[in-house]
Amino acid sequence: MSLAAQCYYRVAGTRMGHRAAREGLRAARHFGALRDFHMPLDALDLPYNSTRELMRLWRRMHWSSGDGMMTPQERLAIFRLACAARAAGDLVELGAWKGLTTCYLAAACRARGHGRVFAVDTFVGTREDNTRYAAIERHGGSTLPAFREFIARGGFDDVVTACVGLTTEVAAQQRARRFALLLIDADHSYAGVRADFAAWAPLVSPGGMIVFHDYAMPDAGVRDFVRREVIGSRWVVAEPGEVLPNIFAVTRC
Ligand SMILES: C[S@@+](CC[C@H](N)C(=O)[O-])C[C@H]1O[C@@H](n2cnc3c(N)ncnc32)[C@H](O)[C@@H]1O
């Protein structure tokens, strides 16, 4: 990571630095500068606690780290949703892969001042698409060691619980828990997303958020499922809706 990036993360992570950088950015954009340069400047319009935690995370893992399956913009959008989640409870991610997005959820818990992240994965891939998860072989057959390494590197061992198993089976073990945010990013087939929604949506607190990733993924069933069975259901209101082309979020009634 460059020295300039380190300095930026350090300065913008202080209260005064955050304010100064935000005002500077507003002025620059007012005069037409920096319009096309978003990440990581977009993080400056967050409340101070959130920016501070993001800068802390980025000091450990640069914002453009390529170890996740989301784009940096998508991770920032998930972070924003998690920071804004006002309902009672923890956060849960279905499909954690190597834990980069999990770190953003954990940073959001720190910014909120409470809650934990439950990261659910078999960590050995899925039957969904055997070729895609051939990537698992490059990790010695399991992404769990890489996941643990990421969480430790982010300093989130005390905030994250790894739940190893099929998402629907883990749901049965978590029936007594309530969640402020559910991120669905595991099996992207129509039947897979449907099963995850059926098993986990009842565990989301009223006012809590249900977030679908890979909404725009060709050949996946996410968009079809959301359009046919989620929007208009009595369980949710379709807000905030399409946060990014690939992320759709609804609020539990
Ligand atoms: C797209 S990746 C998750 C990416 C991760 N959220 C990120 O942002 O980096 C999908 C993950 O879901 C897991 N998975 C797929 N189907 C599953 C299931 N039914 N139960 C548990 N894990 C599953 C796979 O092992 C894989 O790690």
In the block, tokens 């082309």 appear at 245
| Ligand 1 neighbour 104 (Cβ under 6 A) | no
Beta bridge partners of 209: 181, 251
Regarding beta strands 204-213 and 179-184, do their DSSP bridges make them parallel or antiparallel, or are they unpaired?
Answer: parallel
Q: Which of 65, 93, 167, 168 for a ligand 1 pocket mutation test, highest count of atoms within 8 Å of Cβ?
A: 167
For 14, residues 6+ apart whose C-beta sits below 8 A from its C-beta are 52
pLDDT at 81: 97
Q: How far is the CA of 240 from the centre of ligand 1 (A)?
A: 24
Q: Which of 64, 71, 97 for a ligand 1 pocket mutation test, highest count of atoms within 8 Å of Cβ?
A: 97
Atom of ligand 1 nearest to the CA of 74: 8
pLDDT at 243: 97
| Ligand 1 neighbour 117 (Cβ under 6 A) | no
Nearest to 200 by CA among 210, 214, 190: 210
Say how far apart CA 87 and CA 206 lie, in whole Å: 7
In the block, tokens 């996740």 appear at 68
Q: Which of 79, 94, 215 for a ligand 1 pocket mutation test, highest count of atoms within 8 Å of Cβ?
A: 94
pLDDT at 165: 95
Contact between residue 107 and residue 154 where contact means Cβ atoms under 8 Å apart:
yes
Q: How far is the CA of 185 from the centre of ligand 1 (A)?
A: 6
In tens digits, the chain (253 residues) has pLDDT values of 788 888 989 999 999 999 999 999 989 988 988 887 788 888 899 999 999 999 999 999 988 887 888 999 999 999 999 999 989 999 999 999 999 999 999 999 999 999 999 999 999 877 655 545 667 778 888 999 999 999 999 999 999 999 999 999 999 999 999 999 999 999 999 999 999 999 999 999 999 999 999 999 998 899 999 999 999 999 899 999 999 999 999 999 9
| Ligand 1 neighbour 187 (Cβ under 6 A) | yes
- Specify the DSSP element, H or E, that contains 142: none
Dump the DSSP string for 171-207: HHHTTT--EEEEEE-S--SHHHHHHHHHHHGGGEEEE
Q: Mapping DSSP to helix (H, G, I), strand (E, B) and coil, where does residue 234 land?
A: coil
Atom of ligand 1 nearest to the CA of 75: 8
